Structure 1
Amino acid sequence: MATSKTLLLLANKLGIAEEGKLLSKAAELERLLQMKLTAGNNLTDTSRIVICLDLAATIYGADLDHKTAIKYSGLKGPTYTSSKKMVENLLELNNDKLTVSSLCLNFQCNGVKGLAENILQDIQKTTKMELDMTLPQYACMAVYQACRINKIKLPKSKMVEKSRLKLGQWSKLEAEWAKIIDEKFAVVMKRGRPAKVKVVDDEKAMDIDTSPKKEIVIERKVESYEDWKRRMLEQAYKELEVLENERKIKKSVTRLSIHEESLRRSPRKTPIKSPQKTPQKFSPYKGPRKDGVIRLVFPKDF
């Protein structure tokens, strides 16, 4: 894996430039950290690389001066400690190491454990680059390929999530491994069950009971016409009596409801209209008389 110039320079200042595996691990952690960090983080490129070198040194047990790391990271002591803890949580370095056994146990596919371990060893021998097989993506891919060979379905999304890779990176790694694995591990015994054949012994076949079966005679009791007639009439009378009782109950309920409704209503009072008097028309000069003669009320001016 190619390492950046900044990483090599900082590793030289920290005194761990000669550790090849450690530098590769730090570069791998730094690449994973770039994918998981959000835009609002306060880590600079230098502080991020120093923290990754510190974590890689812890994994491989290399000596690294903590004060020197804080100095070159450009952070204060408490800030460096909290940032390192944050990076550990993002990269899930505090969790237990992901192995083939734990994956098989988690996905309930213990039958492919041996094949997955063989695939992991063969890939490590075949590839020209030096790979860190402790990284989770390799264990996940080995188990996934072993299940593919044995035609066992696994949830691919969960496997990609545990590998800590993006889907594109997973697809690229899957294509690379599939070419190598199909050449060496593709021959697998097909599992199947033989068809069940029912065998009948000759002796048992000869012991078949050929005696005629006895007919079962069922005697039916015939009811006389008079009994049937009496029974049907009694049943009809009972049904009529039930219907009559129901009708009476409904009628009484209806009467009761009508009576209650009439009690709720108040008597309507019709207002008595007073007779209207026809207005009489009077003239200021004329007044009515009984004999039909018009009488002047006011004298005229002559």
Structure 2
Amino acid sequence: MSSILQNNAERLGIRDSPTIQKAESFLRVLNTKPASKTISDVAKIIMCLDLAATALGQGFDKDTAVKLSGLRKSGYQNNLNNLEKILNLDKPITVSELCVQLSCTEVKDLAEKILANYQERDTKIKDLEHPQYVAAAVYTGCKLSNIRVDKIQFRAISRLKVAQWNELLEEFSKFATSLGLVSGKKRAKKGVEDQEVMESENIEAQPLKPKEKVEVIEEYEVWKERILQEATAEILRNEIK
């Protein structure tokens, strides 16, 4: 069994001994529990590696794990939740842990801000430790940051039905808007405005074209005097020659 675990660990890119040893420890416990016998040995090994990586704060390739387990994403997550309970690992998941688990650590601060404000506003929340709120906060943070995520995977972690999950997401989306948080796509508009301002400034900075000369009309007496002077000068030049 350990060779199968080692092979699957390598296929998942897990090579550190602590994670593999913890997964082996989880597997030994599960093999003594009747409730885990409905899961195939390979799927059980994959999930033990998943739980071990999560427990040690290591990154984990969830997509590859689902493929290797032979299960659908929703089935994988549901079985993983059950194994957590059997192993007494179903402690409240944090925003930081979920971000590591789903490889979206860049939204950690944003998701924590959304969740903290949501919990402060909604005094009716009874079970703050339920994973639905953390899942919704991280998912909303990803959407605001234009990070593509697997909605089904988030819903499985939330442990909600489809209709309940969609309703919660809508609520979090509206709440994020009330906080003044908008999608990164909308922020691009500011860049367009800045470009327009720069173009306008460039136009204003261009040097003005020199003014065309304006023809001045002489008064008659002035014109007459000038013509007589020019004629006299011409006569004198001819006499000298």
Tell me the TM-score normalised to structure 2 length: 0.39
Bigger-Rg structure (1/2): 1
Q: Which has the higher helix share?
A: 2
Q: TM-score, normalised by structure 1?
A: 0.32
* Structure of greater relative contact order (alpha carbons < 8 Å, 6+ residues apart): 2
